[in-house]
A and B are shown apart, each in its own frame.
Chain A
Amino acid sequence: MDISGAYDSILYDIAGGFSLLVLLLAGIVCIVWDIFENDEPVLPFVAAMACVVGIVWEVRNLDAGSSTVFYDSIRAYGLASYINITILLSALATVILSVPYLKRIKHGYGEVYALIVFATAGAVMMGTANSLVTVFVGLETMSISLYILAGLVRRDEGGIESALKYFLLGAFSTGFFLYGIALLYGATGTMYLPEMASGFIERGELTLLFWAGIALFFVGFLFKVSAVPFHMWTPDVYQGAPTPLTGYMSTASKAAAFAALVLVLYYGLAPMPVAAWQTALAVVALVTMVLGNLLALVQNNAKRMLAYSSIAHAGYVLVALTAGTSQGYAGAVYYLLIYSLMNIGAFGVMALLEWDDKEGRLQTIDSLAGIGFRKPLLGVAMGVFMFSLIGFPPFGGFFGKVAVFAPAIEAGYTWLAIAGVLASALSGYYYLRVLYVFWMRTEEQADPAVRARAFPVSFSSAAVVVTCALVLLVIGFIPYVRDLTQIYFDASVFATMP
């Protein structure tokens, strides 16, 4: 490696990795400040500002040509900016929703915001990785912060059990993921994604080492995105973790993992014969959609229902990845943005409607009967999120589903797309049931504890929820957002190797 130009390129590196550096700086400021001023109310503001600065910077760079910085370790501009915006928006919403929530459950420590920011930095690093080393380091930075956040309420046995399950299965899957990286490294001779492909073209054959590596690598990834054979941890973790942080896990961390998978598939593996893992991904996508939706049908707890729903949505994204075309990858990235907005909003509403003081793990959906009439703003916003999650036409979710299913049909996976649409239709039952309970039942049917409770909604939380809902109403009609993802993926790299 030639390092003679290190000082010349440092400004370029700082510009390319600006949002990542701002996040890391904000995280350090938060955690050091917290030592001197315990539970300083400015800390969430610092965290939120870091996200805002990052979003503004990335929006400015959306049109810039994609490049790599820090010695090809991470990607910057273009597609990377788009992914970063998705992650940073989820993080910003999480920080704002967490402030009143954590104050209410008396866990508003300053470290929480430092950890959210560090997790976001890890997510950004992973979602824009250009080397397997960066994928691993980003993944672990994110996961280790999230293990702590999941167990934030450590006096509650549900909260700590959620943290334990997240930690054990996360660390276990990390082992597989890392072994996959090691074997891929041995098979390709490089850690850098674009070079992996060229190594293959030179060698012209795929070894056993490669297939073992790719299998372990996918197992690790599928654990992280909670696809079905490896989904067991998701409902337990989501149910027990503090609700706004659950929203973070289901959006930012999932978006980052999927983005890294897209980058690996597109930059690293695109020139290779895709049929081999297309079949595997198709099967996983089918099982994930069907099982996720079926198990969501029988849940009484809203957070657990949303956990199974997020498993199902991972299946929809996998449908797009199955296609293995530039449209498919673009559709997946577009879907992640929309999915993040819907899910952070839905978890935000559930955080505001929480009454059991056990992170919502004991309250049933039915207990909130008629709450829509008492909290019309939350009720209407929840309506938007639920219809959008189903994929109902005017809302963002519909356009997202079109973007993920259409490439699969073009690639010859019509049966998979049909299964996806049927699974979405099935999902209507449990999403609409929430709205039925919120709006079609009277308040007398609600739990007495709910009727006695005021559910104060702070202005900032309401603003986040309403903004998410409004964006979902219009995002499908902004072709710019959707077409933007199309220009990031160049179809010419799919020169299939014999």
Chain B
Amino acid sequence: MEIALSWYLGLSAVLFAIGVAGVLFRSNLIIILMSVELMLNAVNITLVALSQYMGEVSGQILVFFVMSVAAAEAAIGLAIVIAIFRNKLTVDVNNINLFKW
């Protein structure tokens, strides 16, 4: 049975929205990082589905770049979180408020 394109796009949109909500409403840095990864992977679903649907390969090429970028971002992000934790002993974004206005 063939699954229609719109289902993939719908799934991807829902996952993306969950990722956005996670970034906006959670205050733990690790969870925010995970939500960002979810956003990127949701887009990957869109890219692969559209690429497959159109029989055009550059969307899938971009997916490989997105995966490596996500890995690099996770590495940098966790390094920054560790540096924050050593400084302030917290990973709650509400306590990282040195700069205002």
Which among A24-32, A77-85, A174-182, A267-275 touches the partner chain?
A174-182
Proximity string of chain B (62-100) to chain A, C-beta cutoff 8 Å, 1 when within and 0 when not: 100110010011001100110110011000010010110
Give the docked Cα–Cα distance between A239 and B9 (Å). 40
Interface size on A, residues (CB 8 A): 43
Let me know if B36 and A172 touch, CB within 8 A: yes
> Is there contact, CB below 8 Å, between A140 and B98?
no
Q: Name A128-162 residues within 8 Å CB distance of B.
A: 131-133, 136-137, 140, 144, 147-148, 151, 154-155, 157-158, 160-162
Instruction: Tell me, yes or no, whether B11 is within 8 Å of chain A by CB.
Output: no
Interface range for B = 35 or more
Q: Is the CB of B23 within 8 A of A178?
A: no
In the bound assembly, the distance between CA atoms of A95 and B95 in angstroms comes to 34
| B23 (CB) vs chain A CBs: closest residue | A172
Is there an interface contact between B80 and A157, defined as CB atoms closer than 8 Å? no
Pick from A162, A175, A239 the residue with the most CB of B within 10 Å: A175
A235 pairs with B80, CB closer than 8 A: no
The answer to whether B99 touches A158, judged by C-beta atoms less than 8 angstroms apart, is yes
Tell me whether A161 and B98 are in contact (CB under 8 A). Answer: yes
Cβ of A164 and Cβ of B76 under 8 Å apart?
no
Q: Are A164 and B46 in contact (CB under 8 A)?
A: no
Q: How far is the CB of B5 from chain A (nearest CB, A)?
A: 9
- Measured between beta carbons, the chain B residues less than 8 angstroms from A168 are 23, 29, 32, 36, 93
- Asked if A157 and B99 make an inter-chain contact with CB atoms under 8 angstroms apart, the answer reads no
Chain A: minimal CB distance from B17 (Å)? 11
Q: Is the CB of B65 within 8 A of A133?
A: yes
Residues of B within 8 A of A165 (CB): 96, 99
Residues in A whose Cβ lies below 8 Å from that of B56: 189-190
Q: Report which of A137, A164, A182, A236 forms a contact with B47, defined as CB distance below 8 A.
A: A182
Neighbouring A residues of B40 by C-beta, 8 Å: 174-175, 178
**Chain A window 449-485, contacts with chain B (Cβ cutoff 8 Å), 1 for yes, 0 for no:** 0000000000000000000000000000000000000
Q: Which residues of A have CB within 8 Å of B69?
A: 136-137, 140, 144, 174
| Contact across chains for A144 and B36 when beta carbons are under 8 A apart | no
**CB-based nearest B residue for A145:** B76
Residue among B29, B59, B93 with max Cβ neighbours from chain A (10 Å) = B59
Residues of B near A158 (CB, < 8 A) are 98-99
Q: Tell me whether A249 is interfacial, beta carbon within 8 Å.
A: no
Closest 7 CB pairs of A and B: A175-B39, A236-B99, A186-B50, A191-B58, A182-B46, A154-B83, A140-B69
- Which residues of B are in contact with A by a Cβ distance under 8 Å? 9, 16, 19-20, 23, 29, 32, 36, 39-40, 42-43, 46-47, 50-51, 54, 56, 58-59, 61-62, 65-66, 69, 72-73, 76-77, 80-81, 83-84, 87-88, 93, 96, 98-99, 101
